[in-house]
Amino acid sequence: MKARDLGIETDMNQNKRPDRKLKQKRGESASDAEAPARYVAPSRQGKKPIITYAPEYARTALKIFCMERGMSVDRFMLEAADEKLMNMGADFNLRGLDPNEKE
């Protein structure tokens, strides 16, 4: 059912994506336009995030714990995951897979 069938007046020229309309006027298709390159920090190149949700107090405690020991939360989490994997009998470690990793 369309809006006009319900007696609702709509602006037929309304366009939710004005960038597409502009490209159509220029004679370009939406796929022709290249997305601008995004900046990626050198420390994050070639990496993907692993996300977990925790209560705010746990996140704060973990950050303080890591700061007191002069390590990043990322490094701590990989070391903790490595230790857990080793205890569970895995024959690989996560930190050993990346040759560019700094200690």
Q: Give the residue extent of every domain in the chain.
A: 55-103
Positive or negative: CA dihedral 92, 95, 99, 103: negative
pLDDT > 70 in the chain, percent = 59
Higher pLDDT, 62 or 9: 62
Alpha-carbon radius of gyration of the chain: 25
pLDDT higher than threshold 80 for residue 50: yes
Return the number of other C-beta atoms located less than 10 Å from residue 93's C-beta.
14
Report the greatest alpha carbon distance in the chain: 68
Dihedral (Cα; 65, 92, 51, 62), 10-degree rounding? -10
Q: What is the mean pLDDT of residues 42-67?
A: 93
**Residue with structure tokens 């993907």?**
48
